[in-house]
Amino acid sequence: MATIRFGVWNMEWMNDLFTDGPIFKSDDTQVRGPNPKRERHEPSVKHRRESLSGLLNEIDVDVLVVVEGPNKASELQLFFDSDVNGTWSCDVQPTKGGSQIIGLAVRTDKGHFAETPYIRFHIDEGQGGESERLSRSTNTFALDTDDDDIQELHGFERRPLYAEIQLANNKRFRVVGLHLKSKGIFQSYEWSKWWARADANRKKIAAQCTQLRQEFIDYYLTEDSTKDVPLIICGDINDGPGQDTSEKRLKVSGIEKLMGTVWKPGLCLGNALYDALDDDDRWRIDLSSIHTTSFRDPIFGTYRKVWIDHILYSRNRPAGWLGDATVHNVMQDGQKVWEKYGYASDHFLVTIEIDTAAL
């Protein structure tokens, strides 16, 4: 069985590694990034490059969706050419006035892919063609997110990346890479204002997920031109299963909106990390063992583990076309990722194995 390893990773402030050219900033330049040892200074470019590339070389992915990537395709290409094993082809989806955008890297020296390994569909107003529906879906839109008969205006901070991966066996699948609205509140506020902002952030995530589901995914899975083409929706959704305190008030879950509704079961997306749970946990829907990042509780100072990075997939191929989903928080030698590659990212790399013959 021929397989490729597909991954999605929020690489955290990767844009900070570069200056115009494109060239890397000097090795000793301090940049934003993880600081697991709580050192006085921010990590250096050298530390970040070594940790990011070290983890990628050890996990050995064939396709990677990069979240919080650099602004330019040439910068992402420079990183993979300079620091990562193999030969790569890289691209990014620009967002006007935006940063920390979505990128794609495909390894081309193993013989897995066609001569043109992927086609990126350009997402922006007036693009037409294959990208038209997703471009329209991610323009500013009006939606009543809390069922109060008031239409609210919403938008996307970052355009999704949309690409078709083309394999050497003439099979193909498509990928949508996402980075949705952050839940983070990074300033101090009076308590009621803090909750108002928390609720607003959840409403926006729910609106973005609803818009993608209603205006893109449902059409993709039913239109003749795409309904038989396997689809992966992945990225930092900034939402996990179930409902937190704000979502309970709003009576909505963003990720569950994105996955689909029980009223259209044939259009629901699978979740690769859920599939990887053992039989008992799947039966009980016990998701507590899955987390892809953690954050410091602003009140108690403890760290809370959360699952906000997802790989969702269409069910328009035989069961088992992808599997073995893994959150890489422990490396092959048993070391914790934050011990071995402490300056890589505050998110864990998530991978799956794709059976290319089953596509």
193 pLDDT exceeds 80? Answer: no
pLDDT at 58: 98
Provide the whole-model pTM.
0.94
d(CA 159, CA 155) in angstroms, rounded, equals 10
Average of pLDDT values for 272-286?
96
Say what the alpha-carbon torsion angle 272, 36, 295, 161 is, to the nearest 10 degrees. -50
Please state the rounded mean pLDDT for residues 266-274. 97
Report yes or no: 254 and 180 within 8 Å, Cβ to Cβ. yes
d(CA 226, CA 287): 32
Task: Give the model confidence (pLDDT) of 120-135 as tens digits.
Answer: 999 986 666 788 999 9
- Mean pLDDT score across all residues of the chain: 90
As a whole number of Å, the CA-based R_g of the chain is 20
Res. 265: pLDDT tops 80: yes
Can you give the pLDDT at residue 1? 56
| pLDDT at site 16 | 95
The count of structural domains within the chain is: 1
CATH number of the domain to which 154 belongs? 3.60.10.10
- Quick check: 195 pLDDT over 80? no
Q: How far apart are CA 49 and CA 79, in angstroms?
A: 8
Quote the CA–CA distance of 22 and 327 in Å, as a whole number.
32
Given a cut of 60, whether residue 101 has pLDDT beyond it is yes
Structure tokens at 192: 């009621």
In this prediction, residue 149 has a pLDDT band, given cuts at 50, 70 and 90, of: confident
pLDDT the model gives residue 40:
67
What's residue 250's pLDDT? 62
Examine residue 22 and say whether the peptide bond preceding it is cis (omega within 30 degrees of 0): yes
With a pLDDT cut of 90, the percent of the chain lying above it is 69
Full domain range(s) for residue 95: 3-358
- Condensed to tens digits (0 to 9), the pLDDT of residues 196-254 reads 666 667 888 888 999 999 999 999 999 999 999 999 999 999 888 865 655 556 667 78
And the tokens for 359?
């596509």
> Residue 192: is its pLDDT beyond 80?
no
